[in-house]
Chains A and B, each alone.
Chain A
Amino acid sequence: MRLSTLVASAAIALATAFPALADALTIYSPQGGERAAWIAEQAKAAGHDIKLLNAGGGELFDRLLAEKNNPQADVVLGMVDTSMALLKKEGLFQAYTPTWAKDLPTQFQDMDGMVYKFWQTPIVLAYYPDKLPVAEAPKSWLDLTKDQYAGKYVIGASAWQTTRMYLAGILVRFLDTSGEVSDEGWDFLSKLYAGAVVVNDADSQIEAFKSGRASIDLNWLGGTFKLAKDLGAKVKVVETDGGTPVISEGVAIMAGTDQLEQAKAFVDWFGSADVMAVYAEKFGQVPLLPEALAKSPVAVQENAKLVKPQPIDWDAIAPKLDGWLQKIELEIR
């Protein structure tokens, strides 16, 4: 008897709890923490009822693929070039040209009109001059395997977008004529891992710098600045020989959305020059829209020119990345 009362009350609680949850626009994004909170807050203020699901870029990617037949997301926001390219190839997106896209430089527009990039970030090699004298700092990503840097640089979890991107940036330097990574490349990567502090989470990452010997940060630019702020130390970004991988993050509307109008309105709002400029001011992210960049603080405009980009064809790399990561995870790390 008591059991049935419990079941009945549970059913009632469910029935009342659900309609309230059904309406919000669901957005999958690797943007987490205060950035996610800011986006949610600003979107709400602008009249968009959104619900953010944030997780690591790799995890979100898996989730989107797994949910292919029952898509939960309406909008995908902030995944990097390679992930967006693969998701598009899987047929998960639909075409929509946001109102702000006409001013976007063509290399950030999508030929199929589905994925539009809105900001970019270099994945930088940076160091802490207090711990590592300027003269001794590495000059290139390929310098890291030198004995003097052993134990001084940190490689993050391979599920992180950032880690994946700089590993790819290193491996593309070793592509042979058939487009595969040469043995020399894998030897280099083995050495890179052998000399690295390898961490699985952000906590250990900070800890390696705070109390460990780490003095070289491989990170996306905003992450580098945030880490330096948390550590209360000065950080210097290296202008590397051979260039620095620059990734851009895009937004797309899912093919299976049942809230197309709301999704369009959100994408138009989020990518607009004003929102991008405010975000740049708040978090230092470099927007791609020329108008937004012009409205951004001077520091952000300088960051846009901070490093020389490494020429990388992300679309060509995207299909190979899984195999590379598998080799890294199973044999190298």
Chain B
Amino acid sequence: MITLDDMSLSIEDFNRCIEDIVNTSDNLIDGWRFEQNEELENGKYIIKKEQKVLSQDQEDDINHVLTFEYHIAFNISYGVPVLCFNVWKQDGTMLTVEEFWKLNERFKESNMYDTITQMDHPVLRRPFFTLHPCRTHEIMEPFLEESKNPVVSWLTVVGPFVHLDLNEEYVKMCS
């Protein structure tokens, strides 16, 4: 057990939570699937892809078909789950973090710069857009006792910032 104190999420807890997510997703045909690097203690993570159309701003009528690939992995140093994602256009070129911010100007007030940054994926060790993990523990803390699936509870809070909406079936898993 990697638990720092009683009120934090262990890797075992995390793995159980993402397993539940994948099971529910399979029933919903929602697209979450497992990936694993067996050499790492925190090697398990889940992935989901989703296509969305976001328009840049008023001047730009062009609709950008973007593919979001979400990853939920475990960050050992913070002891929290991490939501990483990459976004690419139809030709496969990735959005830069600046381009992503531009598409999300409505979130500016909540200080996008602090919230979404680029960090190395905990397992893949490649740069991904990441919801900065430093506040995750704070957000998760109330859920650790109350929720049966703290990872889902946390996702329902932070997901909307990155256009990730969870089906109500997942929320049912928490109580």
A binds B: no
